[in-house]
Structure 1
Amino acid sequence: MLAGTMPRTAEVSNWSAAWIGLDAMLAAGLTGTGLLLRKGDPRVAPVAAATAALLVMDAWFDVTTSAGTGGQGLALLLAAGAELPLAVACAVVAARRTA
């Protein structure tokens, strides 16, 4: 139902602020995960889990918003070569630290 009722295009205000905010959250999550992991801090698990989710979300939106453009190849390359592997690494850290 939702897919059938959504507009095919949309004008978005504050587009750059949304992407900059997401990138800032990713940077904070990756930095926090690394620092907490280095210290052996058990709080690393939720930070790593949240960072994994943000990375998957970023890959999804990069690929879907670039569909049909010249940037789609780069978006797919970054998703497959960086964002999704980092998400898996963060998920593994989260899983191992909660067990």
Structure 2
Amino acid sequence: MLTDEQIATMSPAERHDLIRRLVRPVDDLVPSRRWLRRTRELRILLLVVSAAALVPWIVYLAVSLPPRYVAHNWDVTWVGFDVLLLVLMVATAVLGYLRRQMLVLTAFATGVLLVCDAWFDVLTAHGDDQVWSLATALLVELPLAAVLITGSMQILRLVAARLWALDDGAHAWQVQIPLPSDADRAVGRPARVR
């Protein structure tokens, strides 16, 4: 068994090799290779079909929606949206304080909601509200969204780099989802079939 002192004297390449050899195979974590592949394929198909259906819907809305519309439940809509934003902000703060990786999800979602909030505030404002909406979007919502989204990406990158799943200088979007074949190849053994 390796001691902490022996590990401390290892080079980065040796640690990388050791971690790759000790990584728990994905096959031990998912019901089956077939399930994993099928689930991935179905989710990708769902997104592709949804994106394809969204294109004609966007065109339809662009030509059919009136530029002005009186909305029902306007107050409930915005209060509900802001309550959701508040819940995600508090969750992000708590998860950050507790140093939990779930922070990546809540921080990213909070950042996206802040971008949406800025977008709708600026585009739906009129009169004196336009200046206030633009100022809060540019000075508060969008900068905070940038901090939250880039911060969540930095944490993702840090965790992946610490596990030697990401090379030095690589970006967070280059982190790949481990597949059974990757785990098997990394430890130099033939793939198991269930």
TM-score calculated relative to the size of structure 1: 0.92
Deviation, 1:24, is 0.5
Deviation, 1:8, is 1.5
Report matched runs for 1:19-38 at 5 Å.
19-38=78-97
Separation (CA, whole Å) in 1 of partners of 2:67 and 2:90: 36
Separation (CA, whole Å) in 2 of partners of 1:11 and 1:73: 22
Separation (CA, whole Å) in 2 of partners of 1:53 and 1:7: 26
Q: State the structure with bigger RCO (CA 8 A, min sep 6), 1 or 2.
A: 1
Corresponding position: 1:90 with 2:148: yes
Separation (CA, whole Å) in 2 of partners of 1:13 and 1:72: 21
Deviation, 1:82, is 0.5
Residue in structure 1 matched with residue 47 of structure 2 by the alignment: none
Separation (CA, whole Å) in 2 of partners of 1:28 and 1:76: 24
Deviating beyond 6 angstroms after TM superposition, the runs of 4 or more aligned structure 1 residues are: none
Larger radius of gyration: 2
Separation (CA, whole Å) in 1 of partners of 2:92 and 2:69: 35
Separation (CA, whole Å) in 2 of partners of 1:97 and 1:56: 20
Give the partner amino acid of 1:78: T
Corresponding position: 1:80 with 2:138: yes
Structure 1 unaligned segments of length 5 or more: list them. Answer: none
Matched positions, count: 98
Question: RMSD of aligned C-alpha atoms?
Answer: 1.1
Corresponding position: 1:55 with 2:114: yes
Q: Which is richer in helix?
A: 1
Give the partner amino acid of 1:89: V
Q: Which moved more, 1:7-16 or 1:50-59?
A: 7-16
Deviation, 1:98, is 1.4
Q: What secondary structure is seen at the aligned counterpart in 2 of 1:29?
A: helix
Residue in structure 1 matched with residue 124 of structure 2 by the alignment: 65
Report matched runs for 1:6-45 at 5 Å.
6-45=65-104
Deviation, 1:4, is 2.4
**Among the aligned pairs, what percent are the same residue?**
33
TM-score calculated relative to the size of structure 2: 0.49
